[in-house]
């Protein structure tokens, strides 16, 4: 189950002149904008989980 914290912090999208979606917190990027908008978020969810694990290890 995806927490509401993840949903509230969704990646930003810049459509023109660039075709990229980037999560500024995890630095995960994808040029597959249409795939992201269609729900292909696996790499962003994995990036979030890696980011969260590393921030917990630092604490």
Please answer whether residues 33 and 15 qualify as being in contact, where contact means their C-beta atoms are separated by less than 8 angstroms: yes
Given this model, what pLDDT does residue 10 score?
A: 65
Q: List, as own/partner pairs, every contact residues 19-27 make where C-beta atoms lie below 8 angstroms and the sequence separation is at least 24, other chains included.
A: 23/47, 23/48, 25/51, 26/50, 26/51
The CA-based angle 15-36-10, given to 5 degrees, is 85
Given this model, what pLDDT does residue 8 score?
A: 59
> Which pTM value belongs to this model?
0.66
- Report d(CA 47, CA 49) in Å as an integer: 5
Mean pLDDT by 10-residue block, N- to C-terminus, for the chain (59 residues)?
A: 57 72 91 93 95 88
């Amino acid at each position: 189950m995806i927490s509401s914290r993840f949903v509230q912090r969704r990646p930003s999208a810049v459509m023109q002149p660039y075709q990229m979606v980037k999560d500024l917190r995890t630095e995960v990027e994808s040029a597959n904008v249409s795939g992201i908008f269609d729900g292909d978020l696996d790499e962003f969810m994995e990036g979030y989980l890696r980011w969260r694990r590393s921030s917990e290890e630092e604490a």
